[in-house]
């Protein structure tokens, strides 16, 4: 019962602060580009406006997959903050990540089909890396519980620097940042047709926007595990990573999908696997 209450509380706070993080992201991006930018609360207004629109679908699978994507993201975040097994968190978020691609592929739109195929390629690229990253965290902590790093005598980062570097690559895709936003960009300055999200509209698009908030907080939470022994160190690490992703997004061009696979199946997977071998042996 305590774990359930913690999970529900974490989801409530995620809904409260997730849109705020996205709003700050948009504002900082605008400032980097010498624009005024939207209000910080604009993501909330966008979700409410989308929810009020009439639902239109080219396939019934679109709405089902939108709800499934949100459910997977919410369940993964709840399990993480309730201190459950990191591997369970991984497989839960993987289900939530693949369903929007299934909905996109169910549509006859060529833009949606292309976005869905690219999303599946991205999943094939980063999911193995994320799995090895969580395996490294569990091995170094002595337990796969998400709470285990909180009880260590020192932070994980000094013993898992290569794993942390691999996690930064994963965050680039999950946060929809350049150069890894091959399937769909989070900002209008990148493209007019959003690939994966092209056929999602109204309430279904609102659901996926909220799911993106939850995914962002989950990734930042995993990042925090690398310095979980100090609240100030954890906060500083999250802030630096988040700001670094925004700067990289505005300073990088988008990679093609062959380059994306090469980066993650080459350096990304190698970094995480080498650090896992270092921790185990």
User: Can you list the positions of beta strands (E) in the chain?
Assistant: none
Compute the residue count for the chain.
281
Residue 201 has pLDDT above 70, yes or no: yes
pLDDT of residue 185: 65
Share of the chain above pLDDT 70, in %: 96
End-to-end CA distance of the chain: 38
Cis upstream peptide for 179 (omega within 30°) = yes
Question: How many C-beta atoms surround the C-beta of residue 12 within 10 A?
Answer: 10
Contact between 223 and 238 under an 8 Å Cβ cutoff? The reply is yes
More confident residue, 265 or 130: 130
Report the mean per-residue pLDDT for the chain: 88
Residue 198 has pLDDT above 80, yes or no: yes
d(CA 184, CA 200): 12
Quickly state the pLDDT bin for 34 (edges 50, 70, 90): confident
Instruction: Enumerate the β-bridge partners of residue 145.
Output: 85
d(CA 197, CA 156): 36
- Angle among Cα 1, 73, 78 to the nearest 5 degrees reads 20
Quickly state the pLDDT bin for 213 (edges 50, 70, 90): very high
Distance of CA 99 to the CA centre of its chain: 14
pTM: 0.91
Q: Closest Cα to residue 183, out of 120, 140, 240?
A: 120
Span of 47-61, 82-96, 121-135 with lowest mean pLDDT: 47-61
Residue 210 has pLDDT above 90, yes or no: yes
Both structure tokens of 140? 């170094």
Residue 50 has pLDDT above 70, yes or no: yes
What is the extent of the structural domain holding 216? 2-280
Q: Closest Cα to residue 162, out of 244, 270, 256, 51?
A: 270
Provide mean pLDDT across the span 239-257: 86
Residue 191 has pLDDT above 60, yes or no: no
pLDDT of residue 118: 87
Tally of domains within the chain: 1
pLDDT of residue 188: 54
pLDDT of residue 186: 62
Residue 96 has pLDDT above 90, yes or no: yes
Q: Closest Cα to residue 242, out of 20, 13, 11?
A: 20
pLDDT of residue 208: 92
d(CA 101, CA 89): 20
pLDDT of residue 45: 94
Quickly state the pLDDT bin for 250 (edges 50, 70, 90): confident
């Amino acid at each position: 019962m305590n774990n359930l209450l913690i999970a529900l509380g974490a989801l409530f706070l995620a809904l409260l602060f997730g849109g705020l993080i996205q709003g700050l992201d948009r504002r900082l991006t605008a400032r980097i580009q010498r624009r005024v930018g939207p209000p910080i609360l604009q993501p909330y207004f966008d979700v409410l406006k989308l929810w009020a629109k009439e639902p239109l679908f080219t396939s019934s699978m679109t709405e089902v997959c939108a709800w499934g994507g949100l459910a997977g993201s919410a369940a993964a975040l709840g399990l993480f903050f309730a201190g459950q097994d990191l591997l369970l968190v991984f497989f839960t978020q993987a289900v939530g990540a693949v369903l929007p691609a299934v909905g996109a592929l169910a549509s006859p739109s060529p833009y949606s089909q292309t976005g869905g195929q690219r999303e599946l390629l991205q999943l094939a690229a980063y999911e193995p890396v994320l799995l090895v990253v969580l395996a490294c965290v569990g091995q170094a902590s002595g337990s796969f519980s998400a709470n285990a790093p909180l009880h260590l005598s020192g932070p994980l980062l000094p013993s898992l620097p290569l794993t942390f570097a691999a996690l930064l690559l994963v965050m680039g895709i999950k946060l929809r940042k350049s150069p890894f936003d091959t399937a769909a960009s989070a900002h209008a300055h990148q493209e007019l047709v959003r690939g994966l999200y092209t056929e999602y509209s109204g309430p279904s698009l609102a659901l996926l926007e909220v799911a993106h908030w939850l995914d962002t907080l989950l990734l930042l939470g995993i990042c925090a595990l690398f310095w979980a022994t100090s609240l100030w160190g954890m906060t500083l690490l999250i802030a630096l990573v988040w700001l670094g992703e925004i700067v990289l997004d505005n300073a990088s061009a988008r990679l093609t999908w062959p380059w994306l696979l090469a980066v993650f199946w080459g350096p990304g997977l190698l970094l995480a696997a080498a650090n896992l071998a270092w921790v185990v042996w």
